[in-house]
Amino acid sequence: MTSSYLAISNIKKSFNTPEGGTVHALDDVTLDIQSGEFFVMLGPSGCGKTTLLRSIAGLEYPDSGVITLDGQRIDDIPAYNRPVNTVFQSYALFPHMTVAQNIAFGLEMEKLDKAEITSRVGLALEQVKLAGYEKRKSSQLSGGQAQRVALARALAKKPKVLLLDEPLSALDLKLRRGMQIELKRLQQETGITFVFVTHDQEEAMSMGDRIAVFNSGKVVQLDTPREIYRRPVNSFVADFIGETNLLDGVAGTDGITLPGGGMLLRSQVAEDCAIPDSGAITVAIRPEDFEITDTHGAITGTVRDSIFTGDTVRIHVTVTPEVEVAVSLPSYGARIPDRGEKVSLSPSGNSARTVAS
């Protein structure tokens, strides 16, 4: 892969609110997206990820900054002249057209010859595993099939970059997971750069080669899914990506005193984390990283409830009236404490992390 295939440099975009205020949707965002990469932009509603996607597509124009694709500046040219295509949350298929006509529509607008159009439509349908559906009307398709047609229509134009704006959010959970696998397969087979926007962190983790986590118009962390999950840069990322227990502690010579008076030893904290000699500090521990110990642990509390979820049992432990932690234990082979039982918990190995607030 070649770096800086899609280069986003110092992009700013603000909107005026009806109340007379200003929202900074994008606040000096810079990203380098590689050729052939499945790149995910992740964050809560209103964080700026969709505004950036629309800026790449040409549906929004940045107030300042530059966007280049394969060495060509594109932020100052109309959307219809950009070598990108977009798949939206709403599939926007023409209901009166057949599947083949929907896919061919954009190609006809480019005035390609009929043989080329027929070839591209056939290839796109094979790519999304809908060969034989050419004559069906879009009104006769299931949600998953309609999504595949929308993808085929975008792929048929052979874009340099395919932009996907929450394309799976309208599907039910089982179908959405199936389409996640299909999208990843399609990206790998075509070699096209995919830029995918979602607010679903599980979706982002399962699909992205790299993830840019957005918050309040800024990119707060950019890395692989594994690194973001295991090494979040601050409490926002730790809490937004997956689930974590954020505990306010006090650093000392021996370690970190946690709520309830337990001690987290320095050896139980990841080696790349800095621990001051004294002062307030926030600790992040994933639910699956807790172990129930026979000795006095870093956290001691009372089991409020336990929930069986199939492969795991989720336990909520009350530490103080204000603090509760979540623990995830395997449902097979581990002793599950009873409701009302007092337990001691410690992170396995050095899995605890200190994070900036």
* Domain locations in the chain as residue ranges: 6-235, 247-355
* Rg of the Cα atoms in the chain: 24
Distance separating alpha carbons of residues 327 and 286, to the nearest angstrom:
8
| Beta-sheet strand order (sheet of 193-198) | 84-87, 161-165, 193-198, 38-42, 210-215, 218-223
61 - beta bridge partners? none
**pLDDT computed for residue 224 by the predictor:** 97
- Looking at residue 3, its pLDDT comes to 56
- Cα(80)–Cα(68) distance, rounded to whole angstroms? 16
CATH no., domain 247-355: 2.40.50.140
In angstroms, rounded to a whole number, what is the distance separating the alpha carbons of residues 286 and 348?
10
CA–CA dist 208, 222 (Å, integer): 11
DSSP run (H or E) holding 51: helix 49-57
Whether 6-235 shares its CATH topology with 247-355 is answered no
> How many other CB atoms are found less than 10 A from the CB of residue 323?
16
Q: Which two tokens stand for residue 265?
A: 């030893």
> May I ask the CATH architecture of the domain 6-235?
3-Layer(aba) Sandwich (3.40)
Q: Estimate the share of the chain in helix, then strand, then coil, as percent rounded to the nearest 5.
A: 30, 35, 35
Determine which helix (DSSP H) or strand (DSSP E) holds 100, and give its type and residue range: helix 99-109
Each of the 357 residues of the chain gets a pLDDT tens digit; together they read 445 899 999 999 999 988 888 999 999 999 999 999 999 999 999 999 999 999 999 999 999 999 999 999 999 999 999 999 999 887 788 888 999 999 999 899 889 999 999 999 999 999 998 999 999 998 888 888 888 899 999 999 999 999 999 988 878 888 888 889 989 999 999 999 999 999 999 999 999 999 999 999 999 999 999 999 999 999 999 999 989 999 999 999 889 999 999 999 999 999 999 899 999 999 999 999 999 998 888 999 999 999 998 899 999 999 999 999 999 999 887 788 999 999 999 999 999 999 987
Does the CA dihedral 170-172-176-178 come out positive or negative?
A: negative
Confidence (pLDDT) at 2? 46
Residue position matching structure tokens 């800095």: 274
Residue 276 half-sphere exposure, CB side, CA atoms within 13 Å? 11
Cβ-contact 320, 259 below 8 angstroms:
yes
Which residue blocks in 110-243 are alpha helix, DSSP H?
A: 114-127, 143-156, 173-190, 201-207, 225-230, 235-240
In whole angstroms, give the CA distance from residue 249 to residue 282: 6
